[in-house]
């Protein structure tokens, strides 16, 4: 136990004093996760800023504003709250890119609607023609056609529902105007679900996707300094010297793996702290581990074991440090791309989703989805942890065979 | 025990090695005996088989045939029993460069089974022996080549090994550093350690080795007391001349 502790201490000291290695292990994932979260925030969590200029100042204006405000990913602002009281001003703000679109509700819209409804109830309704009220929607020129159509369709739906609602109320109360024109809760609602096998309770935000993803990427990157240290020990004959010591070889191997597993745990915690405390300062949502922490620990530890053994295999198989420096990062980037670190697996085409199952990073990230997005518990992540450990054992086996038979 | 009653630290008999897939032996029927306190020179040009010999004797690789006994223990059958008795000091600076000299000594000392108080004592003694006190807390990478070489040896002698394999320890050193190192190697011998010493510098071997073995292409060409070999029938002027004649190079 003392020798294992001495080896662990030695490895940790070597790691702490390797500044380039530390940058690779800590700064790289921290920078990557921050940049990618900032870049992807708009892609994975599009929020639309809407300016509502309510010249009606009555029921219809209130209902349209409420409808927009309650919609997902829409931030609705009243014109009067931002000092914009004219249509030209609203148009200018959209043109400047401050809002993706603005809705101009004309004055007297509610009175007009009730008058029309009353005439309808009395059987005297006629097409209002050019005397009808027009709601104008100004779009940012950069807004795509599909999005424009969706907004117009949503606004039309709200107006149509309102029209029928008011007509119905006027038919029931022909002599008086109802006090509350708000539509009742709908009888039917639409459940939105993803036609995939991922079983998410909710889709991941950019932070939920990227914090675990890039932390895992950083963990697997330990293969580079680990392989480097092994090659250095082999080339300067320290390994030969150690092999002539009266100490079983597993002490050196376990000591090295234990040190790197410790570093991986610290590395994940470091990225987690950035997600929790730095992201809110950058306008990103804070990273929160909603599921059990013990499940997170199990996955990170299993991932670290897999990565450390992969690093040892790389160190054993690579002929030189330069080779390891090329092969290590290349294989990790490929595994990361396949594993959904760069583009989430659920956004990949089906064949790629199938291939992604080969990447240990995909297993680890899927375990994080289990914890963060599927509401799963410790026992549910054990299979993924098992696959990662098996990967580590396989890598260790290959290292051992190579070590035994390499001249 | 040898005929004169002294104990052989190393007894090698009929040692041969052929690597898997190799066409010929890299080591053929090597037989030698080294007594306690000797500095035994293992000399030969590049590719002579010195490294293979040392690798086998230090339990790193297995021979194809032959036997090796170190302090009476069969090194091939019981490598773990032999390892506490030996120390391999490679030609390279086989240390952890991002640790200090003291940290390296502490780690290697622990691996050799030294406990805290004994280890502290041995580190102090060895630092003093090699004049390394002022460099003890410097990272190895920050030390000069000569100091690194001294630490390289210091880390290998903490446990008072009975047999030390010293592989070209003076490569790349300036004359002053080399002489200082050779003095310390001789001190180790005087303290009772036995050394197997390989070098390409014949004057160095002539100065410190009581006996030498000259080999080439895995075959022993000459073996005996250094002075006897030089002043034998052919009356060589020095070991260098003997070496060149013997190896034909």
What residues does B167 pair with on adjacent strands? B198
Q: Residue A144 has which token pair?
A: 């795509």
CA distance A220 to A335: 10
Is the pLDDT at B1 greater than 70, yes or no?
no
Pairwise CB contact (< 8 Å): B94 & A3: no
Measured between CB atoms, does B83 come within 8 Å of chain A?
A: yes
Pairwise CB contact (< 8 Å): A243 & B112: no
B62 C-beta neighbours (distance < 10 Å), count: 10
Q: Which of A3, A242, A246 sits opposite B84 (nearest CB)?
A: A246
Q: Is residue B12 part of a domain?
A: no
- For residue B81, the chain A residue with the least C-alpha distance is A246
Going from the C-alpha of A251 to that of each of A247, A399, B79, B161, the distances in angstroms are: 7, 16, 17, 22
Considering its fold, how many domains does chain B have in total?
A: 1
Choose, out of B93, B106, B107, the residue to mutate when testing the contact with A (most A CBs < 10 Å).
B107
Query: What backbone torsions phi and psi does residue B85 show, to the nearest 5 degrees?
Result: -90, -15
B 22-81 near A (Cβ less than 8 A): 55, 58-60, 80
- For residue A406, the chain B residue with the least C-alpha distance is B20
pLDDT band at B3 (very low <50, low <70, confident <90, very high): very low
Q: Residue A65 has which token pair?
A: 């504003």
Q: Report the length, in residues, of chain A.
A: 407
Looking at CA atoms only, how far is residue B165 from chain A in angstroms? 11
Looking at CA atoms only, how far is residue A71 from chain B in angstroms? 58
- For residue A404, the chain B residue with the least C-alpha distance is B61
**Low-confidence winner among A43-52, A295-304, B95-104, B164-173 (lowest mean pLDDT):** A43-52
Chain B residues with beta carbon closer than 8 angstroms to that of A247: 111
**Burial status of residue A318 (CB atoms within 10 A of its CB: 0-12, 13-18, 19 or more):** buried
Give yes or no for a contact between B168 and B91, defined as CB atoms under 8 angstroms apart.
Answer: yes
- For residue B59, the chain A residue with the least C-alpha distance is A244
The DSSP code sequence of B20-89 is TT-SS-SEEEEEEEEETT-EEEEE--TTSSHHHHHHHHTTSS--SEEEEEETTEETTT-HHHHGGGEEEE
Query: Among residues A204, A256, A206, A199, which one has the least CA distance to residue A226?
Result: A256
Q: Which of B94, B98, B139 sits opposite A240 (nearest CB)?
A: B94
- For residue A230, the chain B residue with the least C-alpha distance is B96
pLDDT digits 0-9 by tens, B149-192 = 999 999 999 999 999 999 988 887 888 888 888 998 898 898 88
Give yes or no for a contact between A261 and A222, defined as CB atoms under 8 angstroms apart.
Answer: no
Pairwise CB contact (< 8 Å): A246 & B80: yes
Q: Residue A99 has which token pair?
A: 């809002």
Pairwise CB contact (< 8 Å): B87 & A240: no
Give yes or no for a contact between A75 and A98, defined as CB atoms under 8 angstroms apart.
Answer: no
Query: Among residues A209, A401, A387, A403, which one has the least CA distance to residue A306?
Result: A387
- Domain residues of chain A, as ranges? 2-43+205-405, 46-172
Chain B residues with beta carbon closer than 8 angstroms to that of A2: 110
Chain B residues with beta carbon closer than 8 angstroms to that of A7: 107
A209 C-beta neighbours (distance < 10 Å), count: 27
State the DSSP code for A27. Answer: I
State percent of chain A over pLDDT 90. 25
Run of H or E residues at A255? helix A249-273
Tokens 């570093």 — which residue?
A263
Q: Which of A14, A237, A247 sits opposite B94 (nearest CB)?
A: A237
Give yes or no for a contact between B157 and B126, defined as CB atoms under 8 angstroms apart.
Answer: yes
Domain A46-172 fold: D-Maltodextrin-Binding Protein; domain 2 (3.40.190)
Chain A residues with beta carbon closer than 8 angstroms to that of B138: none
Please tell me the predicted confidence (pLDDT) of residue B198. 93
Q: Residue A270 has which token pair?
A: 């470091």
Choose, out of A233, A237, A405, the residue to mutate when testing the contact with B (most B CBs < 10 Å).
A237
**A127-135 long-range contacts, CB within 8 A, separation 24+:** A133/A106, A133/A108, A133/A109, A134/A106, A135/A64, A135/A103, A135/A104, A135/A105, A135/A106, A135/A109, A135/A159
**Burial status of residue B171 (CB atoms within 10 A of its CB: 0-12, 13-18, 19 or more):** middle
Please tell me the predicted confidence (pLDDT) of residue A173. 64
Residue A313 CB partners (closer than 8 Å, separation 6+): A395, A396, A398, A399, A402
pLDDT band at B2 (very low <50, low <70, confident <90, very high): very low
Is the pLDDT at A348 greater than 90, yes or no?
no
Looking at CA atoms only, how far is residue B95 from chain A in angstroms? 6
What residues does B35 pair with on adjacent strands? B8
Q: Is residue B13 part of a domain?
A: no
What residues does B220 pair with on adjacent strands? B215
- Averaged pLDDT for residues B15-27: 88
Measured between CB atoms, does B93 come within 8 Å of chain A?
A: yes
CA angle A182, A187, A192 (to 5 degrees): 105
Q: Is residue B64 part of a domain?
A: no
Query: Among residues B182, B194, B167, B227, which one has the least CA distance to residue B44?
Result: B167
**Ramachandran region, residue B34 (left: φ > 0; alpha: ψ -120 to 50; beta: rest):** beta
Please tell me the predicted confidence (pLDDT) of residue A136. 87
Measured between CB atoms, does B88 come within 8 Å of chain A?
A: yes
CATH of residue B171 = 3.40.50.300
Q: Is residue B18 part of a domain?
A: no
Pairwise CB contact (< 8 Å): A236 & B92: yes
CA distance B122 to B191: 14
Is the pLDDT at A407 greater than 70, yes or no?
no
Give yes or no for a contact between A389 and A214, defined as CB atoms under 8 angstroms apart.
Answer: no
Give SS3 for A22: helix
Chain A residues with beta carbon closer than 8 angstroms to that of B98: 13-14, 17-18
pLDDT digits 0-9 by tens, A179-226 = 555 555 566 666 655 544 555 556 677 888 888 899 999 999 899 889
**Low-confidence winner among A152-166, A167-181, A246-260, A303-317 (lowest mean pLDDT):** A167-181
Give yes or no for a contact between B202 and B45, defined as CB atoms under 8 angstroms apart.
Answer: no
Give yes or no for a contact between A35 and A282, defined as CB atoms under 8 angstroms apart.
Answer: no
Q: Which of B84, B94, B156 sits opposite A236 (nearest CB)?
A: B94
Is the pLDDT at B199 greater than 80, yes or no?
yes
Pairwise CB contact (< 8 Å): B96 & A10: yes
More confident residue, A190 or A377: A377
**Low-confidence winner among A171-185, B4-18, B113-127 (lowest mean pLDDT):** A171-185
- Sheet with B194-198, edge to edge strand ranges: B86-89, B163-167, B194-198, B39-43, B211-216, B219-225
Is the pLDDT at B7 greater than 80, yes or no?
no
Tokens 């004797």 — which residue?
B57
Measured between CB atoms, does B156 come within 8 Å of chain A?
A: yes
The DSSP code sequence of A114-165 is HHHHHHHHTT-----GGGS---EEEE-TTS-HHHHHHHHHHHHHHHHHHHHH
**Low-confidence winner among A145-149, A194-198, A245-249, B176-180 (lowest mean pLDDT):** A194-198
Going from the C-alpha of B202 to that of each of A376, B81, B165, B212, B242, the distances in angstroms are: 73, 34, 18, 10, 9
Q: Is residue B8 part of a domain?
A: no
Give yes or no for a contact between B1 and B185, defined as CB atoms under 8 angstroms apart.
Answer: no
CA distance B239 to B203: 7
State the DSSP code for B100. Answer: B
Question: In the predicted model, what is the mean pLDDT of chain A?
Answer: 83
Tokens 């009730």 — which residue?
A114
pLDDT band at A131 (very low <50, low <70, confident <90, very high): low
CA angle A244, A10, B143 (to 5 degrees): 85
Please tell me the predicted confidence (pLDDT) of residue A174. 59
Helices (H) and strands (E) in chain B, counts: 9, 10
Pairwise CB contact (< 8 Å): A246 & B139: no
Q: Is residue B62 part of a domain?
A: no
Q: Is residue B20 part of a domain?
A: no
Going from the C-alpha of B198 to that of each of A114, A267, A322, B124, B180, the distances in angstroms are: 108, 46, 31, 28, 17
The domain containing residue B126 runs over which residues?
36-48+85-247
Please tell me the predicted confidence (pLDDT) of residue B6. 56
CA distance B178 to B184: 10
């Amino acid at each position: 136990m003392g020798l294992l502790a001495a080896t662990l201490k030695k490895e940790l000291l070597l790691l702490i004093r390797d500044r380039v290695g530390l940058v690779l292990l800590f700064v790289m994932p921290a920078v990557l996760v921050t940049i990618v979260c900032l870049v992807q925030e708009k892609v994975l969590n599009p929020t639309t800023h809407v300016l509502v200029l309510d010249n009606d100042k009555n029921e219809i204006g209130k209902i349209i504003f409420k409808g927009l405000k309650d919609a997902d990913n829409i931030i609705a602002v009243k014109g009067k709250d931002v000092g914009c009281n004219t249509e030209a001003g609203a148009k200018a703000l959209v043109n400047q890119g401050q809002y993706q679109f603005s809705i101009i509700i004309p004055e007297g819209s509610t009175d007009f609607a009730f008058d029309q409804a009353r005439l309808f109830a009395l059987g005297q309704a006629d097409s209002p023609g050019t005397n009808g009220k027009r709601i104008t929607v100004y779009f940012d020129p950069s807004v795509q056609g599909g999005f424009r159509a969706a907004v117009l369709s949503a606004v039309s739906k709200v107006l149509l529902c309102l029209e029928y609602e008011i007509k119905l109320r006027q038919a029931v109360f022909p002599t008086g105007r109802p006090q509350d024109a708000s539509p009742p809760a709908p009888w039917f609602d639409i459940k939105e679900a993803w036609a995939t096998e991922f079983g998410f309770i909710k889709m991941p935000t950019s932070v939920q996707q990227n914090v675990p993803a890039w932390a895992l990427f950083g963990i697997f990157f330990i293969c580079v300094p680990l392989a480097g240290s092994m090659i250095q020990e082999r080339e300067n004959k320290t390994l030969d010297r150690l092999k002539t010591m009266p100490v079983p070889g597993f002490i050196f191997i376990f000591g090295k793996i234990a040190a790197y597993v410790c570093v991986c745990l610290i590395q994940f915690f470091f990225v987690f702290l950035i997600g929790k405390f730095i992201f809110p300062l950058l306008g990103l949502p804070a990273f929160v581990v909603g599921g059990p922490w013990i499940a997170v620990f199990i996955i990170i530890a299993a991932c670290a074991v897999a990565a450390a053994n992969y690093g040892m295999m790389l160190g054993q198989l690579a002929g030189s440090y330069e080779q390891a420096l090329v092969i290590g990062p290349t294989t990790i980037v490929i595994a990361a791309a396949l594993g959904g670190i760069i583009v989430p697996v659920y956004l990949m085409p089906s064949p790629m989703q199938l291939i992604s199952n080969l990447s240990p990073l995909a297993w680890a990230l899927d375990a994080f989805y289990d914890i963060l997005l599927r509401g799963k518990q410790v026992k549910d992540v054990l299979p993924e942890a098992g696959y990662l450990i098996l990967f580590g054992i396989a890598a260790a086996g290959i290292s051992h065979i190579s070590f035994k038979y390499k001249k | 025990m040898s005929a004169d009653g002294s104990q052989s630290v190393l007894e090698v008999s009929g040692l041969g090695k052929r690597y898997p897939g190799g066409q010929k032996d890299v080591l053929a029927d090597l037989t030698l005996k080294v007594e306690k306190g000797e500095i035994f020179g293992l000399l030969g040009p590049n590719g002579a088989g010195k490294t293979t010999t040392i690798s086998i004797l230090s339990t790193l690789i297995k021979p194809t045939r032959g036997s090796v006994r170190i302090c009476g223990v069969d090194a091939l059958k019981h490598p773990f029993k032999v390892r506490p008795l030996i120390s391999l000091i490679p030609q390279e600076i086989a240390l952890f460069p991002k640790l200090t000299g003291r940290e390296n000594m502490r780690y290697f000392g622990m691996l050799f089974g030294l406990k805290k108080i004994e280890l502290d004592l041995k580190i102090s003694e060895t630092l003093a022996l090699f004049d390394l006190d002022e460099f003890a807390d410097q990272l190895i990478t920050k030390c000069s080549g000569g100091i690194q070489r001294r630490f390289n040896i210091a880390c290998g002698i903490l446990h008072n090994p009975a047999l030390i394999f010293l592989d070209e320890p003076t490569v790349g050193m300036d004359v002053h550093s080399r002489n200082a190192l050779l003095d310390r190697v001789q001190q180790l011998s005087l303290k009772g350690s036995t050394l197997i010493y390989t070098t390409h510098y014949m004057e160095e071997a002539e100065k410190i080795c009581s006996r030498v073995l000259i080999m080439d292409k895995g075959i022993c060409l000459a073996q005996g007391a250094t002075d006897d070999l030089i002043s034998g029938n052919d009356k060589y002027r020095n070991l260098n001349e003997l070496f060149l004649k013997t190896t034909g190079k």
